[in-house]
Chain A
Amino acid sequence: MNYLYDFVTLLCIYSVLAIGLNLMIGYTGIFSMSHAALLGVGAYTSALLSMKAGFPFLVSMVCAVIVAALFSAIISVPSLRIAGDYFIVASMSLQIIIYEIFVTWIEVTNGPAGLPGIPRPNLFGFVIKTPQAYMWFSIVMLSLVVAAVYGIIHSPFGRVLRAMKEDPIAVQSLGESVVRAKVTIAILSSAIAGLAGSLYAHKMTFINPATFDIHESITIASMVILAGAGRVWGPIIGVFIIQAFPELLRFLEISGSHVGSIQKALYGLILILLMMFRPQGIFGKFKDTTLGVNKHVAKN
């Protein structure tokens, strides 16, 4: 049973991350290659502050969110000013730089050996220790993130995002800053990644740089694209498919040493097939009624 609880917990944590990334890829059309690193920034910040500075869990978590957002602001403010395509390169560089910091800043991060002994979250005296309790905690956090993202997407700002995807020049001609909207989304998305990182660190109680390398960034992006970028709940399905995939491979009789590479090759194949036959993802295009505006009109 614990196995199932752990599976659902990780599903929730990666869903938080993917929903945040979907704000960029799905709603804004900015492709980020640094989300694994930002997950790591959240994880390391939260873990180190809890372990070395003795911060309470909630404070560490909030700091993780802020630090991840700051890291992203460093690259998004200059690179989104130029053109969307440069952001891929800038975010990939950020991914590599952050990963190198995790590996080489041994005094703080303990390098490739990783950080063991991260404390369990303590919420007002209640320690979330059992897999079951952590699962419920992750479900609550995921629900909060879904609600927040849903609220933003169905707001006037969400409408601006949709308009930007259709015609950024028209958006500018109406007095809205496209750069500002993109930077807002990039920072928000990274803040959510930081939150996921904090949840991850205190769940695993051990983190090391390998979890936050560029392959992970690609996997996370695959999760978002797979189910259909541009739907609030789409990434959850994508995460489920990709998380469940290794479990399914167990039923095939493949020797353990090959599972990893077969998995990656199959992800690649699935993505190529999707781009060819269903570029909008499995669950298709996003459509909404912002703040119920259209319904409002129908009534009048």
Chain B
Amino acid sequence: MLLRIEHVSVRFGGIVAVNDSNFTVKENEITCLIGPNGAGKTTLFNLITGFLTPTTGSIHFRDQNITGMKPEKIVRLGIARTFQNLRLFNDMTVLENMLLAVPGKYNQSILRPLFLRPRLKKIEAGNIERALETLEYVGLGGKAGEIVDNLSYAEQKLLTIGRLLMTEADVLLLDEPASGLDKNSLDRIMPLVQDLKRQNKTILLIEHNMDIIRSIADQVVFLNQGQVLGVGTAEEIMSNPALTEIYFGGGAHHGEGA
């Protein structure tokens, strides 16, 4: 098991956003988190990536307990995420956004720009090359010099994936990569998500579109009101009448920001 979520709960005052959740994510698989609004999907993302600390329970990555670790440390261990609201640096170029995700000392050193400039230039050139290749891979070839604000929404979504790849993380958490996209854009982004599996990445994603889930998910985790109600293949989950009733029947409490 690459990632283990064990008895994880988080409370905000009196509200239990995630309640005693258990599931595992297998290496090189696509796991989909589904559930009605307010089910706790994004909260789980925040817990796994260190932006929130569980009230109880623990999260393990490759036999290491990562509960309560800082987000940047978790990224360096190999778990990186996107956000529903993208969080790109809109005033910067596409390439600059990509370079900000380069791991190691590259982005934090002040000694290199002061004393080792030629070496820094060389490292920079290598990173630019990798960034341009990655942009090509996600379908943004030729856009490197563009200011992010000038990209279409679909292109911005592709950039979030490109930027994620620059972190070199093995586990990628994608928060609704398909939302807000038209058919054409979906045809660009979903094959990319599937291809990431072939690049030896492990994917955990939040998704609402059942057709997409059916076509790409190896495992589905069904959440409702902060609880994991079912784990299985897409078919197993969808053939469970209780779960489909919650999902389609409007039986869940609706709230803002899952």
Contacts and interface: CB of A to CB of B under 8 A. Distances in A.
A176 B166 CA distance: 13
Nearest to B163: A174
Interface string A262-299: 00000000000000000000000000001101101110
Interface stretch (B35-43, B112-120, B180-188, B235-243): B112-120
B72 interface: yes
Nearest to A184: B110
A156 interface: yes
Interface stretch (A36-44, A87-95, A162-170, A216-224): A162-170
A160 B100 contact: yes
A291 B120 CA distance: 10
A177 B108 contact: yes
Contact of A290 (B76, B96, B169): B96
A interface, how many residues as a size bin? 35 or more
Given A157-B108, A159-B100, A294 B145 contact: yes
B120 A169 contact: no
Interface in A135-194: 148, 151-152, 154-160, 162-163, 166-167, 169-178, 180-181, 184, 188
A173 B71 contact: yes
Nearest to A188: B110
B212 interface: no
Interface string B144-164: 110000000000000000010
Contacts of B163: 174
Contacts of B229: none
A65 B4 CA distance: 48
Interface residues of B, number: 44
A155 B117 CA distance: 9
Contacts of A298: 145
Nearest to B76: A175
Contact of A152 (B49, B107, B114): B114
A272 to B, nearest CB: 28
Interface in B93-141: 93, 95-96, 99-103, 106-110, 112-114, 117, 120-121, 124, 128, 132
A174 B100 contact: yes
B89 A155 contact: no
Nearest to A153: B113
A66 B87 CA distance: 38
B252 to A, nearest CB: 28
A159 B51 contact: no
B144 A297 contact: yes
A169 B85 CA distance: 12
Given A170-B87, A293-B124, A176 B100 contact: yes
B83 interface: yes
A88 to B, nearest CB: 24
B193 interface: no
A157 B75 CA distance: 18
A135 B182 CA distance: 65
Contacts of B95: 293-294, 297
B6 to A, nearest CB: 24
Given A156-B106, A156-B124, A174-B166, 9 more contacts: A148-B114, A155-B109, A174-B101, A175-B103, A175-B169, A176-B72, A180-B108, A184-B108, A184-B110
21 contacts: A152-B110, A157-B113, A159-B100, A163-B100, A166-B91, A166-B92, A170-B87, A171-B100, A172-B71, A173-B49, A173-B71, A173-B81, A175-B80, A178-B72, A181-B108, A184-B108, A290-B96, A291-B121, A293-B96, A293-B128, A294-B93
Interface of B: 49, 51, 70-72, 75-76, 80-81, 83, 87-93, 95-96, 99-103, 106-110, 112-114, 117, 120-121, 124, 128, 132, 144-145, 163, 166-167, 169
